[in-house]
Amino acid sequence: MTTTAAPTTPPPGTAESGAGIPAAAGILDEEMLARFDRRAPSYDRENRFFTEDFDELRACGYLDLALPAEFGGPGRTLAEIGQAQRRLAYHAPATAIAVNMHFYWTGLAADLLRAGDRSCAWILERAAAGDVFAAGHGEAGNDVPILASTTTAERVDGGWEFTGHKIFGSLSPVWDWFGIHGTDLSDPANPRIVHGFIPRSSRGYRIEPTWDVLGMRATESNDTLLDHAFVADEHVPLVCPAGFAGAGPFQVGIFAWALLGFANVYAGIAQRAFDLTVAKVHQRTSIALTRSMAYHPEVQHEVAEMRMDLETVDALLAKVTGDWSTGVDHGADWPLKIIAAKHVAVTRSWRVVDTALDLTGGAGVFRRNRMEQLFRDARMGRFHPANSALTHELVAKFSLGINPDEQPRWG
């Protein structure tokens, strides 16, 4: 049996190349990604919005990826944009997670249009004109976003007025339209959810600079306070019953583009952490070993676990986003598949990054080390909806045939 010396340079698929992620050829330029990579640590350290990255992505047409050809875009699918987002996240996680909020809406609008629903075609028109869309569904105490809301929506002449407190409003410095939802309680026995978009020029809202957090710091996801913020009828695509009773293509489409987009971002972070680990363990030594830590049996065991987690995430996301993009009919199982895929991808990705910090050594705790930033960014994935408790509840109820709107009864 012959042996080979340990590599002195990182193997294919390491942090320099990101080769563990499909290239999504023609979408992201390698030199651009290198610039994003260099800027990411300073954005994080300074808790500063990713202005330069955003300007470059906007200028190169990245924000238009989901736009159909009739609106001047390439009509990229959820699966294709997911791969692009994963590659972007490999280099600049916060940039990718924030941009996902725009795809959240343009992707949904494009899918609805392909299905013959033009209720959100105006979003595509405005995006084609250069407008940026952000999501305002986060609310304290509400772990069922989109389907329920602590914000109130009151009917007025020509539209609706929204009053409430939105959190995690990514793209706060640059959005032109803020997609929100609120509860119409004009008939308390039959609450309805009103989905609408506030233009930047509107009155009745205030952005509070609250974003100073654990990770994903460059997103600048500030709070937004609504005080009778007016939304015109033409910018209200849907009014529907609250809860899963009112769920349809609009809500499920948001689930798909938001949650599977999040999942791909955290998968990109995990791939980066894995590649850094593979390179590092070939360099780490121990006084008890004659060769690098790459030859330690337990290190090999942990690396194998990391790689199997990555393979699981990659296969699952490819399957679910591929099915969505090609129109596979999973019927009522679609919410389950989307929520489960997001949960598995994010939790497995977190496990990869957590293990990476163990294997790469104590240097990873220093702020100057990229692993420290990846660790904090990866942990943020578990805050994204749906949280673990809701995920397990919904997956179980869907599997058991229980109405997800049914309240638990104890005793």
Residues β-bridged to residue 234: none
pTM above 0.85, yes or no: yes
Give the pLDDT of residue 10: 35
Helix, strand, coil proportions of the chain in percent (round to 5)? Answer: 50, 15, 35
In the structure encoding, which two tokens stand for residue 318, read together?
């490819």
pLDDT one digit per residue (tens) for the chain, 411 residues: 333 333 333 333 444 445 456 555 467 999 999 999 999 999 999 999 999 999 999 999 999 999 999 999 999 999 999 999 999 999 999 999 999 999 999 999 999 999 999 999 999 999 999 999 999 999 999 988 899 999 999 999 999 999 999 999 989 999 999 999 999 999 999 999 999 999 999 999 999 999 999 999 999 999 999 999 999 999 999 999 999 999 999 999 999 999 999 999 999 999 999 999 999 999 888 887 788 989 999 999 999 999 999 999 999 999 999 999 999 999 999 999 999 999 999 999 999 999 999 999 888 888 889 999 999 999 999 999 999 999 999 999 999 999 999 876 544
Q: Omega before 245 cis (within 30°)? A: no
- What domains are there in the chain, each with its CATH number? 30-128 (1.10.540.10), 133-243 (2.40.110.10), 249-400 (1.20.140.10)
Give the pLDDT of residue 364: 83
Distance between CA 346 and CA 127 in Å, rounded? Answer: 29
Pairing of strands 192-199, 238-241: antiparallel
Strand residue runs (E) in 132-204: 133-136, 152-156, 159-169, 177-184, 192-199
First-to-final CA distance of the chain: 67
> How many CB atoms are located within 10 Å of the residue 400 CB?
7
Angstrom CA distances, 58 to 40, 99, 176, stand at 17, 10, 14
Please list the alpha-helical segments (H only) found in 195-285.
249-281
Rg of the chain, C-alpha, whole Å: 22
Is residue 160 within 8 Å of 117, Cβ to Cβ? no
Give the pLDDT of residue 406: 86
Give the pLDDT of residue 285: 81
Give the pLDDT of residue 294: 93
In the chain, DSSP finds a helix count (H) and a strand count (E) of 10, 8
Distance between CA 325 and CA 66 in Å, rounded? Answer: 12
- The four Cα atoms 14, 19, 25, 28 give a dihedral, to 10 degrees, of -20
The owner of tokens 């949904």 is 108
CA proximity to 367, closest of 354, 376, 355: 376
Instruction: Identify the helix (H) or strand (E) that includes residue 229.
Output: strand 222-232
Give the pLDDT of residue 23: 55
Give the pLDDT of residue 27: 79
